[in-house]
A = this chain, B = another copy of it.
Amino acid sequence: MSLTTISRNKCFGGIQSVYRHDSTETGCPMRFGVYLPPAAEQGPVPVLFWLSGLTCTEENFIVKAGAQRIAAELGVAIVTPDTSPRGLNLPGDADSYDFGVGAGFYVDATEVPWSTSYRMYAYLVQELFQIVTTELPLDAARAGIFGHSMGGHGALTIGLKHPDKFRTISAFAPIVSSTRCPWGEKALTGYLGADRSTWADYDATLLVAKLGWKGPSILIDQGGDDTFLASQLRPELLVAACAEAGVALNLRMQPGYDHSYFFIATFIEAHLRHHAAHL
């Protein structure tokens, strides 16, 4: 087994683990969490990939979302990757919270010096997916993807491009159009360069228009009091794109909720049930 166990805790009858492995895509050790429900003792179980937001590691979702209770009941596993390479000390990689470390944006960078290691797209879709479905009791044919904020952007873009791998998609407060918000513009300029024509492959609204989505409706929860709603998230752009493309979207505005894990914890159960019902 190529995985080193960092921690292992019994939780709701299953096991919450954190592993480390040497990634060929990022060229550094990467951590990720896996929750295996009790049902995994009997055989492979469906698996959800959770992509976290800016500044997060694999740990935030594990300790804050309260997802293990429902995952145990439904018999689904949850894989929680980190949000970027770490420990490389590339010039400027720790200068801001929204670029570099903790802010991989789920793209494969083409600009120097990021292009050799900031490959979170390939890391997730190819390398990590392969490793966890090979080395752990997970059913590769029953996978879904979801995430929060930057990770919602990741879940939408990766899911839309790989309906063969990810049969269900949901998101909390996602960046729906990375080419049309400050966070996305900064990240895509840095990782992909100033030529915007190369950005389209990482914009969920453009991917919906280009590729469509034949899977179950995409579930999105969005807090009405989210500080970033109008400036960065702009869910109305995805509503319009889905309507135009005939894609089923269930956007639920949640009055009074903000961008925090208190919001995620409140609605995580609905997301897990949505995925499980279709996997």
Contacts and interface: CB of A to CB of B under 8 A. Distances in A.
A10 B261 contact: no
Nearest to A35: B262
Given A63-B64, A66-B69, A69-B66, A263 B9 contact: yes
Interface in A251-273: 256-258, 260-263, 265-266
A35 to B, nearest CB: 10
B262 A68 contact: yes
A232 interface: no
Identical subunits present: 2
Interface residues of A, number: 22
A28 B10 CA distance: 38
Residues of A contacting B: mostly: mixed
A69 B9 CA distance: 22
A257 B13 CA distance: 9
A69 B270 CA distance: 13
Given A225-B10, A256-B10, A262 B69 contact: no
B12 A266 contact: yes
Contacts of A265: 11-12, 66, 68-69
